[in-house]
Amino acid sequence: MGYVATKGGEDAIANANQLVEFYRVKERTQPIEIAQIQAQFRLLIDKIMGEGSLYAPEHAALVLKQNEGDVFESAFMLRAYRATLQRRYYSETLATREMFVRRRISSAFREIPGGQILGPTRDYSQRLLDGELAEETLGTVEAFIAAFEGELDVSSLRTVPTISKVIDLLTSEGLLREANPDENRRLVDVTREAIKFPAPRSAALQMLARAETGGLMALAYSAQRGFGSVHATVGELRMGEVPVRVRDARGRVRAIGRVRVTEAEMISKIKVQKKDPVPYLSLGYGLCFGQNETKAICMGILDRAMRSGGDAPCQSQEFVLYHTEGIESYGFTNHLKLPHYVTFQSSLSNLRQAVERKEKKRGNLGFGMAATAKKETSA
């Protein structure tokens, strides 16, 4: 029985895998190239790199192709791949003030030093279908780029400096304070140790950085709507590339490349102390791979919410961090598809006994479930 049944299981898996591959290609369309996915689905790549916790655009493109665009499977695959890679360095702290800024806004002030730079955003577009994309060719693309570049007068462009931060303005005026001066500042690596609660802030921020965007969005939205109110303003949202540096074996700091990140500094009021009844401002911080503004903003809101005390779900570290972990929640919700008939059988046994006890109490034997149950199962 063992061999035959198992062969059956193995065959079933092999066939299922084949079938999945068949579904992926059966329309006989031109196979998409990794480079195309990487270039034309940039934002999707950014999302799953963040959730996969691995900055590797080509690999992200590959897994998206492999999984027919399933974002949960793709992020999961990147995480699993990450776990096999050798760990060589911890980087030096990213200096986001050194960012080559591509987009940068602040809702807190109308004008800011360095200016409000809309950059590449769809925020102010109208979400109307563009039928012309159905007819796109390399030719139309080239024409667009030629026209675009034609409008630029390269000689009149200034060099782009690095841009200082809006929060520095508030800090220098003494208006920005720590939300929690006593908090645990221990640096941990959540991929190397299991987190216990209450978790230090470094652990919370790391988990938020790799959290599933939709989960963060739901909880941050709940905070805005009054389930543990966080009324935050975007102090600054910036997106661009920052250099990554590590210390080599001799202790020298070396730059090894650049990554694109989105950073959000969300400003809200601290809880007023009796000693000091001035409603200072404090920071909720968000940072993630690529251009993922929703995630960075929601990270900032939840960072603040988790440090504000209170009973709402978004204010509980355990609730937020456990349940926005995309790979774990994806696995566990779907694991219900696994067979559970042994546990189920155990419950059935209890249930039948309970029914029998009830029927006995009523003196109602002879009809119904009790009789059958008694005959066939347990006492």
Interacting residues with other proteins (CB under 8 A): 1-3, 5-6, 8-10, 12-13, 34-35, 58-59, 62, 76-77, 79-84, 86, 191-194, 196-198, 274-275, 318, 327-328, 330-335, 338-343, 345-350, 353-354, 357, 375-379
| Residue 82 vs 245, nearer CB to other proteins | 82
| Residue 79 vs 304, nearer CB to other proteins | 79
Structure tokens at 152: 């630029």
| Residue 2 vs 131, nearer CB to other proteins | 2
| Residue 77 vs 297, nearer CB to other proteins | 77
How far, in Å, CA of 217 to CA of 161, rounded?
A: 33
Closest separation in Å from C-beta 3 to other proteins: 7
Closest separation in Å from C-beta 346 to other proteins: 4
Long-range contacts at 104-108 (CB < 8 A, ≥ 24 apart):
104/163, 104/236, 104/237, 104/238, 104/239, 104/240, 105/234, 105/236, 105/237, 106/166, 106/234, 106/235, 106/236, 106/237, 107/233, 107/234, 107/235, 108/166, 108/233, 108/234, 108/235, 108/236, 108/267
How far, in Å, CA of 111 to CA of 115, rounded?
A: 6
Nearest to 179 by CA among 219, 232, 220, 224: 232
| Residue 110 vs 192, nearer CB to other proteins | 192
Closest separation in Å from C-beta 5 to other proteins: 3
Tokens 């760990």, located at residue? 87
Closest separation in Å from C-beta 241 to other proteins: 21
Closest separation in Å from C-beta 7 to other proteins: 8
Closest separation in Å from C-beta 60 to other proteins: 12
| Residue 250 vs 275, nearer CB to other proteins | 275
Residues with Cβ within 8 Å of residue 344, at least 6 apart in sequence: none
